[in-house]
Structure 1
């Protein structure tokens, strides 16, 4: 399976990953992928647009949940499909949960909307990424369980549609594969997102590529 300049492969020692399909030049874009699901960091929910993730001095508040903030109606309209269920859940719960819970819920809502199918821009479905829960220490597993409990309160329908094991898997893959989103200057992390294809790039202690975030990609 290929995507642009990279292809999916399974290595005997490294496992599943991405590799270049041709020689790449310095400064060339290896892979560009739109975020599958993304949320603003807890500490910046009132300072960053929840659609384009740009820092703004004056943001417009969602009149229904009074949590989400946007640059203008254009950003709000662009994000409504993602925010619709989130908006209802926040109003029902009475407050917005932490960023991990918000991201996990958005991911599962989108998976339901997409009927579990990967889009053309994805090399693998988002929920088929590795979670590595078996490698987490006991204290981290307790944090995952707390997030699972919070999500079940936040989204009342989750327990009817998904097992706790599946929800734990979602939190595990976010912990392993979630990437920080930076502001327009690239200087501060303002959000957390999931990019399924990019998550397949294996770690290297001497990397020859870097990740940047621009206009949702």
Structure 2
């Protein structure tokens, strides 16, 4: 299994942040429980000193991750150094970056040097003597980390941090990959979602693929510095479906999205549900559910309804998305499986037991492949299915 370097938790969700234990010294690192905190101390103790030295400034995830990498290379544990030295095979892409992006990375590199000096005053000398050549320059190291790190997520795909898994970073991208990656804690699993022939290349998707070809290619260019020419991009597969309906109508939704995304990021759920309801009722049946922008608004309405406890509305929005997800994810995909499971839980809560069981069964067909039999999410799904069967049996017995 790959040796991983990771940041503990990113503060992307303020509500989640408030439920976590905070390190009493640096006030920055957060943990799910005391056991997790104790297990992390051997790694966190050097980082803790650096974080305290910079307060009230807090370094970005990428700076903390690069620093953890350097600490691991300074003091390699058994089996870790060989894996980490594979970073030599990774590109920094500095030569192909715009000056603006280089400038941003230079600021992160300066922060990294300042951060590390709290723990390693003779930093330059230590880096020269202890690190592989491509990791001695902070700018090059930061560039490699930002281009090759993975977003760590929980079983339900909520982002919780960033991590570096050097060997798996060498896999190439495809917008319709034959493999997916899922996390169990900080352990990263590579799982096949299609039959793979002998000597066929294993591929993953670096980005969320539910977007237009032009947008996917732009994101890959900006973040990973290559132009994608996979079969899906060259054929512009699904673009016509994503832009189905009257252009004048879907442009209204497209133009509204940045403001709605801002409301979601700020957890302004009342404002968000009001906006989404207004736009969705305005376009009505003029746009098919498959239209990408209508789907995004429907998903946002689902999120807002769940946060507000509007369960009937939530299940209505969720059920609208399922046939669309089925079209856009022809292969088993974690996003599709988690969406089915989410809707199934809503149906179950509202006592639509038969519907919930059917939805959970569909989710299971996906999750058992994307997450595997031993993943906690798979076990949770099996338990939900058993609960539904038991409740249906009870209803059947009481009706006789």
1:211 maps to 181
TM-score (norm 2): 0.40
User: Where do residues 1-217 of structure 1 align in structure 2 (5 Å cutoff)?
Assistant: 32-44=1-13, 47=16, 58-95=19-56, 96-114=58-76, 119=80, 122=83, 125-128=85-88, 129-156=90-117, 157=120, 158-162=123-127, 166-186=137-157, 188-217=158-187
TM-score (norm 1): 0.70
Largest Rg, 1 or 2? 2
Q: Are the structure 2 counterparts of residues 76 and 103 from structure 1 closer, same or farther at C-alpha, using a change threshold of 3 Å?
A: same
The answer on whether the counterparts of 1:34 and 1:216 sit within 8 Å (CA) in structure 2 is no
CA RMSD of aligned residues (A): 2.6
> Whole-Å Cα distance in 2 between the matches of residues 126 and 108 of structure 1?
14
> Whole-Å Cα distance in 1 between the matches of residues 70 and 28 of structure 2?
20
Q: Are the structure 2 counterparts of residues 44 and 85 from structure 1 closer, same or farther at C-alpha, using a change threshold of 3 Å?
A: farther
**Higher-strand-fraction structure:** 1
Runs of 4+ in structure 1 over 6 Å off: none
- 3-state SS of 2:180 partner: coil
Q: Which runs of 5+ in 2 are unaligned?
A: 129-134, 188-400
The answer on whether the counterparts of 1:131 and 1:173 sit within 8 Å (CA) in structure 2 is yes
C-alpha deviation, 1:101, in angstroms: 1.0
| C-alpha distance after superposition, 1:99-140 (max 9, x if no partner) | 11111111111111118x863883x62532221211111111
| Total equivalences in the alignment | 175
C-alpha deviation, 1:81, in angstroms: 1.4
Q: Which runs of 5+ in 1 are unaligned?
A: 1-31, 49-56
Instruction: Compare relative contact order (CA 8 Å, sep 6+) and give the higher one, 1 or 2.
Output: 1
**Higher-helix-fraction structure:** 2
